Each structure stands twice: as C-alpha cells, then as structure tokens.
Structure 1
Amino acid sequence: MLLKTDLTSEQLLAVIFDYMAKISSESKLDRVLVLMANMGREMIVADRCTVWLIDEAKQELYTTVAHGVKEIRIPAGTGLVGHAIAAGEPIIIEDAYDDPRHNSDNDKKTGYVTKSIITIPFRNNDGQIIGAYQAINKMTEAGKFAPKDMELLSLAASYAGKSLESVMLHQEIVDTQREIIATMGEIGEIRSKETANHVKRVAEYSYVLALGLGLSRHDAEVLRTVSPMHDIGKVAIPDSVLNKPGKLTDEEYEIIKSHTKIGHQLLRGSRRELLSAAAIVAEQHHEKWDGGGYPNGLKGEEIHIFGRITAVADVFDALSAERVYKAAWPLEKIEKLFREERGRHFDPAVVDVFFAELPKLLQIRDELTDKE
C-alpha cells in the first residue's frame, strides 16, 4: 500500500473550495453523492469513502456510492453506520475487527480488509439525520484516524448534508413528474386502444435515435421521459371518433388532428423542463419535414428536434407492431416507406440514424413486444 501524507492547510482549502463549487452547481443526486464521497476521501486521506442514505420505507440504510463496491443495503440500526445514525453521534475506531458493531460480511465477499473506520452522520436543514459519511482505512503512516480527521469530515458532512437535501428534493420533483408523464401517457394510449408497451417502445426508440443524432445524454433522457405524452391530447377526443372502425369523415379527421393542440394546451405554461419538453412533443410529433404536417404546418428545422425524432419513433412502432385490428408490416415494407418519406415526412438526418440504429430498434421491439 502506497502511504500518503495528510494535506497541508493550503491543500485542504483547495480541496474544500473545489468540491463545494462542484457540489453547489450539481443537480443530479448520483453525481452529488460521488462528489461527496470523493471530497471526504481526499480531505482525510482515506482509502475509501462511502455515503450512506436512509430508506425510511424499507427501514434500511443504503449506498449507491462506495469506492470499490456496488450498492450495499443493510437493515437500519446495524453495523457501525447504523449505530452512528441511531445515536446521532460520530464513531471512530482503530481496528474494525475488535469492534462487535462492525459487519464484516462485505469484506468476506470482496476480500477487502477493513481496519480503521470513521463514521459521521449528516443532517438536513431541519437538523434531521438523513445519512452518514463513512471513511475506511487511513492511508498515512499512522494508519488510523485522528480527532482532526473527525473535525474535517464533520465539516464536510455539515455542508454536504444540507446541499444533498436540496438535490434530493429536486430529484423527488423530477421523479414525480416522470411518474405522472408515464401514467398519463398510458392513459392516452389505452383510450385509443393502444398498449402501455407502445409508449414504452416509442420512448426507447426516441432515446436511441437522439443519441445517434449526437444529442447529449441529458437531452436524450429528457426525450425518453416525455415521449410517452405525445398523444396525451387524445384524452379529449370522443370515443365515437377516436375508435371509429371505418374511414373518418373530413370533419372527424379534423377532430383527431386537434389532439396535438389539446396536448400542448394541457402541458404548456410549466417552467419545469420535463413538462415543457412534453408540450413540444405533444404538439409537434405530426409535423412534417416538407411543411405538410399539422397542426401548424412547420417545415424543416422549424420543427423541434424532439418532434422530428418522435415522429420517426411513433410511425415505426405503429407500422411494426401487430394489433387486433391490423397486422404488422414486413420490415422491408417499413424500410421502403422511410426511404420514400426521407426529406418529405421525416427529417433526413433522423431517417439516416434510424437505418444506422435499426438493429437496436428491432431488439427493443422484440424485448417490449405486446403479450396476448
């Protein structure tokens, strides 16, 4: 093991300011947890650092960020971290195997040898404990954590705990939006005799196409989340029109087309990123590259890229999935249509990516096929 030295005051300040700046500007929970673990490890020169959170519903403690291992879950109140959280006090020990509170199961699984441990609960703005830092194995010649390490990690825990609460609240809002979007998307499809798997497939197709076009992973995730809402406006279309077995009259077709405007009106006005994106998809997924679509006759890049991608994903699924009222098109026929509609109905760039990523799209279709 390569021994290190404790940080100088200047080095310590540099680490603190660097990580505080990164944490304060980060909104992703997993990323904040990684930054917290890295900050704690660097500040007190530990080999590993784990950030534990409390799962109230399951009465467990868990970590998705632990250097060297994957997610760990333990019953609340167990292990050193459980005792520290239950008591609301930090724990520092020199030899884990001399302390009966230490759970050595993970060491047995991984072959890692835990020796010195420091565990410090952290609190939210209301003073409630929401998790704990746990650093393992001091990497200096001393080989054990000192009171100074306790002070430093307590400082990190105090700052990081309050920052973490803000991120967790943000994540809860985002997760709630996603749940609402997915549920409403399924409701819209059920009314039009589609299946829940239809919206799931369109979401996954959209994600693959977005990445293939070079969109950021964040934007691709946003599109995957909101694309199930593309037909949400159908909730306001009368069943007599929406599920009419025969050919629609011109008047009935205009009613069907209005689902794009209705969907947009339902979702517009929100400043939340997901709902704003869902409004775009709901309104623009029937626009055409050549300007012949609806509701606004947008042309080319006037159509938002989310709308252009969803158009391809939606049509591909409509053609390739079997329904009680129609057979699935053969793949050759689908490919022929997309080649013919490249530059007319569909953005040529999206069609090119469609063909490039077709094996992935077919795999998604097979994995999410509708069950009888």
Structure 2
Amino acid sequence: MNEPPHYRDDGRGVPRERTPEELLRIIFDYTAKISGERSLRSVLLLMADMGRDMIVADRCTVWLIDRAKQELFTMIAHGASEIRLPLGSGFVGNSIASGESLLIGDAYADPRHHPESDLRTGYRTKAVVTVPFAGNDGTIIGAYQAVNKLTPQAAFTPRDLEQLKLAAAYAGKSLESVILREEIESTQREIIFTMGQIGESRSNETGNHVKRVAEYSAVLALGLGLSADEAELLRMVSPMHDIGKVAIPDAVLLKPGKLTPEEFEQMKQHTEVGYQLLRSSGRALLKTAAIVAYQHHEKWNGTGYPRGLKEEEIHLYGRITAVADVFDALGSERIYKKAWELERILGLFREERGKHFDPRIVDVFFEQLPALIEIRNRYRDRDNADSE
C-alpha cells in the first residue's frame, strides 16, 4: 500500500487510461482489501490508492470532516502526513460546502485553491478533481480529491469525474461503518481504563499504576512474539486486573500492616469478584478482561490463587499481567510498604523465574527492561517523583 502506482503504458513509458476491464479489476481488488480492514488509517490509505489507480492520478486524498474542530483532515495523503484545513477552505472545502463535484484544469487560476499545502511540501498542484461523499443518512462526511493527471493530456476528464464518483459512493458507506466501529472501541477503552482506575483508587494505589501496567503488558506481549493486535488487546484489558477490589472492605484494603490469614482470604476474593463482574459480558473485550482479573495472581508453580493453576493452565494474558503488575507494585510506594530499589526488584524476578513467573516471560522482561524503565519514568507518579 501507498507505493507508486504501476500503470499500463503506451509502450514508451507514458501512462495511459484504464480499460473497462482494468477498472473492474481495480475496484474488485481494492474493495476486497477494504472489507477486511478494521483500522480507519488503513481503510483511508486503500481508498486513496484505489482512487489514484482508477483515474491515473499522481496523488489522491480522502478527506473527512472534524465537526468538533470545524476542520477538514486527512490521516493519509500521498506524499504528505496528516493535513488539516479550516472547514470551507480550498477546493475540498468548497466542494463539501456546496455538495458539488469540481473538475479543475488549472488550480492556480482558480481563487478557491488553497496554496499553503503546496508551499509547505514543495509540490505543485495543477489539475484537480474533487467529489464529496455522504454517509447512510445522506449527510456529507468527506470528499475524494485526486491531483495531477499522469497521462499525456495532463487534465482530468468528465469520465474521470464519474469514476471518482463511483469510488466516493463506496467510500461514504464504508468509512461511516469504520468510524463508528472505532468510536465504539475507543469508548470501550475509555470505560475499561476508568473502571480500572476506580478499582485502584479504592486501595489508594498509585495514580498511574493501571497505565503503567497496560504499557508494560503490551511491551511484554510484543517481546513474546504476539501480534500487534494481541498486544493492543492486552493493553486495553490489563487495567481491569484489580477491578474486584471495589468489593473488598476498607478495613482490609487500607490496612497499613500485614494482613491476618483471615484478612488475606478476604483480599484474595477480588479475583473472583472481578471475574464475576466481567464474565457475563457479550463483548470479547470484557471477556478477556475477566480472564486477566481472574488469573493474574496465579503462579507458574501452582501456588497462586484463586484456583491454583500452574504453568500453561494459566492463560498467557494472565501470566503477562502478573509480571507487569508485580514489577510496578514493587517499585511503587504503598500504604503498607516503601518502594523497592530496582536491583532488589530484579533480584526477585531472577529468584522467582519458574516459581511465581513464567520463565519465558521473565526472560523477555529482562530483554525489554530499558523499554519498561522508560515507561515507568514517563508515567511516574507525582508523589514518587517529588520524593526522589
């Protein structure tokens, strides 16, 4: 994706127009790729590539409206990074405002041209075709824009405009569903993180504990060879590991001294409570969070709780979160203890390799230690920072 287009030429290296058969193949190939994508950035890139290849343009951009900021933006633009423009400016702003497509032969001869982007990038815009597109309810949500025709005539034609309209009609429907899915997932992430903070705040845990555990877990997951998607899933759910603490009595949760055996049994119930809170959800995200809440206190040698699972009976996400949680807990000041020095923490992980912790994860922990320390420093709690 985002590579220079490979156009059929006329035998002399000059790009030529697409045949109807080639156009169909481009549309089928790209729509198949787009249907399998979940990331808005990836979908925008594929759509930009599709428009560019269909009409033999040098560049193509898919613009969206940010109504909160009253701006037009693109996350993907051939030859440039994210671009933002005031809503209503430039060819794309005028096209979206009027709902009309534009076919421009000479950009600099038209007062609607917004030359600042050219000045910033050094690129020279000549011919332009812009097509607004709407969502399912008919509301315009963005626009396709292609720049500079590569065939010898160097000008876009009414045929190009019709072809880009076809791409735009598909883009509107597809992008709306991707945007909605991303909004839902973003909301889920925010809710999960907030719930995790609520669980920690009841026990006066450090303010950034859940954030650090989330980041540590993702780094360890990637170090173990898990996919970026799995690492992101673990980053999202690991903040919920102690949500069950909401049900633990203050007399136990906030006790400054050592817990009695009876009190420790009460404390251990937070894993069961967290699991029961989350397990009945129909969302895969929360079901995964339930596993982490339930198993992050299990130990590799089977001496953990609540079920005494051992080795790979413990879900990998639970084993990863256990390392992340203990690393952060030991390095943070709590109501019942002072923060440990780094060397003392590392000594414990060496000692507990193959006992408390999965030995493979401990090995990755040491391999990724610089990244973990960088995260710890980046999200250091104010109280700890002030005391050092």
Per the TM superposition, whether the score is higher than 0.5 is yes
- Mapping for residues 175-214 of structure 1, pairs under 5 Å: 175-214=186-225
Residues 1:91 and 2:106 are matched in the alignment = no
Query: Which of 165, 171, 174 is equivalent to 1:154?
Result: 165
Query: Which of 53, 57, 66 is equivalent to 1:46?
Result: 57
- Mapping for residues 305-344 of structure 1, pairs under 5 Å: 305-323=316-334, 325-344=336-355
Match for residue 115 of structure 1?
126
Query: Which of 269, 274, 281 is equivalent to 2:285?
Result: 274
Residue 252 of structure 2 aligns to a residue in which SS? helix
Under a length normalisation based on structure 1, what TM-score does the superposition of the two structures give? 0.97
How far off is 1:127 after superposition?
A: 1.2
Q: Deviations over 1:124-160 (max 9, x none)?
A: 1111111111111111111011011111111011112
Query: Which of 235, 244, 255 is equivalent to 2:266?
Result: 255
Structure 2 unaligned blocks of 5 or more: 5-12, 384-388
* Bigger mean CA deviation after superposition, 268-277 or 334-343: 268-277
How far off is 1:324 after superposition?
A: 6.1
Q: Distance in 1 between matches of 2:366 and 2:97?
A: 56
Residues 1:143 and 2:154 are matched in the alignment = yes
Residue 233 of structure 2 aligns to a residue in which SS? helix
Q: Distance in 1 between matches of 2:176 and 2:78?
A: 22
Q: RMSD of the TM alignment (CA)?
A: 1.4
Q: Distance in 1 between matches of 2:83 and 2:335?
A: 45
Q: Distance in 2 between matches of 1:242 and 1:323?
A: 11
Q: Deviations over 1:148-181 (max 9, x none)?
A: 1111111011112101111111111101100101
Residue 61 of structure 1 aligns to a residue in which SS? strand
Aligned residue identity for 1:102: H
Conservation of the 8 A alpha-carbon contact between 1:177 and 1:275: no
How far off is 1:264 after superposition?
A: 1.1
Residue 118 of structure 1 aligns to a residue in which SS? strand
Q: Distance in 2 between matches of 1:76 and 1:137?
A: 23
Match for residue 9 of structure 1?
20
Query: Which of 36, 39, 42 is equivalent to 1:28?
Result: 39
Q: Deviations over 1:14-70 (max 9, x none)?
A: 110001111112122111111111111111111111111111111111110111111
Q: Distance in 2 between matches of 1:349 and 1:19?
A: 41
Query: Which of 289, 301, 305 is equivalent to 1:294?
Result: 305
Query: Which of 325, 350, 353 is equivalent to 2:364?
Result: 353
How far off is 1:287 after superposition?
A: 0.8
Conservation of the 8 A alpha-carbon contact between 2:189 and 2:236: yes
Q: Distance in 2 between matches of 1:269 and 1:119?
A: 48
Q: Distance in 2 between matches of 1:136 and 1:276?
A: 47
How far off is 1:218 after superposition?
A: 0.5
* Bigger mean CA deviation after superposition, 265-274 or 162-171: 265-274
Under a length normalisation based on structure 2, what TM-score does the superposition of the two structures give? 0.93
Residue 130 of structure 1 aligns to a residue in which SS? strand
Conservation of the 8 A alpha-carbon contact between 1:186 and 1:195: no
Q: Deviations over 1:56-93 (max 9, x none)?
A: 11111111011111111111111111111111111110
Conservation of the 8 A alpha-carbon contact between 1:121 and 1:129: yes
Aligned residue identity for 1:205: Y
Structure 1 unaligned blocks of 5 or more: none
Q: Distance in 1 between matches of 2:52 and 2:246?
A: 52
Conservation of the 8 A alpha-carbon contact between 1:320 and 1:328: yes
How far off is 1:188 after superposition?
A: 1.1
Residues 1:128 and 2:147 are matched in the alignment = no
Q: Distance in 1 between matches of 2:125 and 2:289?
A: 49
Residue 309 of structure 2 aligns to a residue in which SS? coil
Residue 228 of structure 1 aligns to a residue in which SS? helix
* Bigger mean CA deviation after superposition, 271-280 or 187-196: 271-280
Residue 382 of structure 2 aligns to a residue in which SS? coil
Match for residue 244 of structure 2?
233
Conservation of the 8 A alpha-carbon contact between 2:257 and 2:336: no
Aligned residue identity for 2:30: Y
How far off is 1:323 after superposition?
A: 4.3
Residue 131 of structure 1 aligns to a residue in which SS? strand
